């Protein structure tokens, strides 16, 4: 898939999000790093798909991850998504090179939403997850700088038509 987002832009996004955190302490201590472990027993590792172009920051030879590619058409991605989508599985969750965490990890527990007027906002992730995130179910106030940086990042990301289509599709499904 052709991404309009350059490697340099993804690097800048990673750097911006490296400087912020949802809360001041390590929220993984609250839940045993549930979003990394993927299931309460910790028996399954979590799979993460990379956004179009985000694979420019990763390598199939990175030792900390398993890498696979699937066809967008086989999954619930927007119609504009055709061809290969990269999925990664962390080999030793919750441990990973922090500076390499994908966008999905960096912006959780928030997710972008585009309303009927085309306005972008952030909401708590409302996917049906196999674990419970205390930041969500206890509605823990998130750091302002984390929320601001995350919104800035998504504003940039949705300039890419493929990412816009993904966020729009998820937002419309949410509306239903």
| Cα separation, 98 vs 88, whole angstroms | 15
**Residue 42 binds ligand SF4, judged by CB under 6 A:** no
**Residue 1 binds ligand SF4, judged by CB under 6 A:** no
Region near ligand SF4 per CB under 6 A, out of 27-35, 49-57, 147-155, 157-165: 27-35
Q: How far is the CB of 176 from ligand SF4 (least distance, A)?
A: 26
Q: How far is the CB of 30 from ligand SF4 (least distance, A)?
A: 5
**Residue 35 binds ligand SF4, judged by CB under 6 A:** yes
Residues 46-65 close enough to bind ligand SF4 by CB under 6 A: 46
The residues pairing with 120 across neighbouring beta strands, listed in sequence order, are 114
Q: How far is the CB of 172 from ligand SF4 (least distance, A)?
A: 25
The residues pairing with 111 across neighbouring beta strands, listed in sequence order, are 123
**Residue 141 binds ligand SF4, judged by CB under 6 A:** no
| Cα separation, 7 vs 32, whole angstroms | 32
The DSSP element (H or E) to which 81 belongs, if any, is none
Asked whether the beta carbons of 67 and 86 are under 8 A apart, the reply is yes
| Cα separation, 144 vs 129, whole angstroms | 25
**Residue 142 binds ligand SF4, judged by CB under 6 A:** no
Helix axes 144-157, 7-18, angle to 10 degrees: 170
Identify which of residues 78 and 93 has a Cβ nearer to ligand SF4 in the complex: 93
Region near ligand SF4 per CB under 6 A, out of 51-59, 76-84, 128-136, 168-176: 128-136
The SS3 of residue 2 is: coil
Asked whether the beta carbons of 104 and 49 are under 8 A apart, the reply is yes
Q: How far is the CB of 171 from ligand SF4 (least distance, A)?
A: 21
CA angle, 134 as apex, 128 and 48 as ends, to 5°? 45
Among residues 85, 114, 135, 163, which is the contact residue for ligand SF4, using CB under 6 A? 135
What is the contact surface with ligand SF4 in residues (CB under 6 A)? 27-28, 30-31, 33-36, 46, 90, 93-94, 96, 101, 105, 108-109, 133-135
């Amino acid at each position: 898939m052709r991404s309009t987002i350059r490697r340099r832009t993804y690097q800048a996004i990673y750097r911006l999000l490296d400087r912020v955190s949802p809360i001041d302490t390590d929220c993984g201590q609250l839940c045993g790093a549930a979003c990394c472990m993927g299931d309460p027993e910790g028996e399954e590792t979590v799979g993460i798909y990379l956004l179009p172009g985000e694979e420019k920051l990763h390598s199939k030879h990175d030792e900390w991850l398993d890498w696979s590619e699937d066809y967008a058409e086989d999954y619930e991605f927007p119609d504009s998504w055709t061809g290969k989508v990269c999925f990664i599985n962390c080999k030793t969750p919750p441990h990973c090179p922090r500076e390499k965490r994908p966008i999905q990890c960096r912006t959780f527990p928030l997710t972008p939403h585009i309303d009927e007027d085309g306005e972008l906002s952030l909401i708590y992730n409302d996917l049906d997850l196999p674990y419970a995130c205390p930041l969500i179910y206890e509605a823990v106030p998130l750091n302002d700088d984390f929320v601001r940086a995350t919104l800035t990042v998504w504003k940039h990301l949705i300039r890419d038509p493929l990412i816009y289509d993904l966020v729009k599709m998820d937002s419309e499904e949410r509306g239903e």
